[in-house]
């Protein structure tokens, strides 16, 4: 994964738990000699997996909990790291944004040529719900998708509930999420958050 991902993990940990906790996580991951992550450098996926595994030990959380929290944080982080325009151009509402996720990744690949992006397919229902299919060469990242959806709900100020109804980890052919939306309030309808909101 690119250094941008690992930098986001670092910032999430230091913002919420402090620099000392981050240093302990790096030590647990045997990465204490790595001073920083370069945004545009591709790192082995193992580096990210080691950081997450070390964080579970240090913070007393499950890997799924950490990945879900990271997915939600990722929306805010990318908006503040120079990708706000890319996010804005992807959609004015949450359903529109989800419809164009693959286009977003295609544009991101211009800056990250070794990117191996996931693929998403969204089916809309008349009851303001959606089924989002997630496909990736990587395993174990479905909890991050749940977090991403909640982060997008905050960005678009659209309350939502997410249920994963199929899982490759449980033997299903794909990861599938059922997303139920509540309409945004009239005062903010169609106007996304600026990405600065954090937990």
Q: What is the pLDDT of residue 126?
A: 86
- Flag whether 194 is in a domain: no
Q: For the chain, first and last CA: distance in Å?
A: 25
Q: What is the pLDDT of residue 186?
A: 43
Instruction: Work out how many domains the chain is built from and give that number.
Output: 2
Show pLDDT as tens, one digit a residue, over the chain (199 residues).
999 999 999 999 999 999 999 999 999 999 999 889 999 999 999 999 999 999 999 999 999 999 999 999 999 999 999 999 999 999 999 999 999 999 999 999 999 999 999 999 999 998 889 999 999 999 889 999 999 999 999 999 999 999 999 999 999 999 999 999 986 554 344 445 444 333 3
Give the C-alpha separation, 151 to 153, whole Å: 5
- Flag whether 86 is in a domain: no
- Flag whether 85 is in a domain: no
- Flag whether 198 is in a domain: no
State how far the alpha carbon of 38 is from the alpha carbons of 4, 84, 99, in Å.
7, 20, 30
- Flag whether 84 is in a domain: no
Rg (alpha carbons) of the chain, rounded to whole number: 17
Same domain, 38 and 113: no
Same domain, 104 and 171: yes
Q: What is the pLDDT of residue 194?
A: 42
Last residue of a domain, one of 14, 41, 61: 61
Same domain, 104 and 149: yes
- Flag whether 163 is in a domain: yes
DSSP letters spanning 93-153:
SHHHHHHTHHHHHHHHTTT-TT----EEEEEE-TTSEEEEEEE-SSSS-HHHHHHHHHHHH
As to burial, measured by CB atoms within 10 angstroms (0-12 exposed, 13-18 middle, 19+ buried), residue 126 is exposed
**Residues 97, 100, 79, 162: is their CA dihedral positive or negative?**
positive
Same domain, 98 and 148: yes
- Flag whether 87 is in a domain: no
Same domain, 99 and 141: yes
Which residues span the domain enclosing 167? 93-181
Same domain, 110 and 177: yes
- Flag whether 195 is in a domain: no
Same domain, 111 and 168: yes
Q: What is the pLDDT of residue 183?
A: 60
Any idea what the CATH number is for the domain that residue 124 is in? 3.90.1520.10
Same domain, 104 and 169: yes
């Amino acid at each position: 994964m690119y250094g941008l991902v690992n930098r986001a993990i670092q910032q999430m940990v230091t913002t919420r738990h402090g620099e000392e906790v981050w240093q302990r996580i790096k030590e647990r991951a045997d990465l204490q000699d790595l001073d920083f992550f370069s945004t545009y450098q591709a790192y082995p996926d193992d580096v990210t997996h080691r950081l997450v595994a070390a964080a579970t030990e240090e913070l007393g959380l499950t890997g799924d909990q950490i990945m879900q929290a990271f997915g939600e944080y990722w929306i805010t982080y990318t908006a503040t790291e120079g990708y706000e325009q890319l996010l804005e151009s992807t959609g004015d509402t949450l359903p529109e944004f989800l419809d164009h996720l693959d286009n977003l990744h295609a544009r991101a690949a211009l800056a990250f040529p070794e990117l191996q992006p996931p693929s998403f397919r969204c089916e809309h229902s008349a009851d303001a719900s959606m089924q989002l299919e997630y496909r990736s060469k990587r395993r174990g990242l479905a909890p991050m998708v749940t977090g991403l959806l909640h982060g997008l709900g905050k960005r678009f100020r659209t309350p939502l509930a997410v249920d994963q109804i199929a899982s490759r980890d449980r033997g299903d052919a794909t990861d599938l999420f059922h997303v139920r939306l509540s309409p945004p309030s009239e005062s903010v309808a169609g106007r996304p958050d600026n990405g600065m909101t954090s937990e």
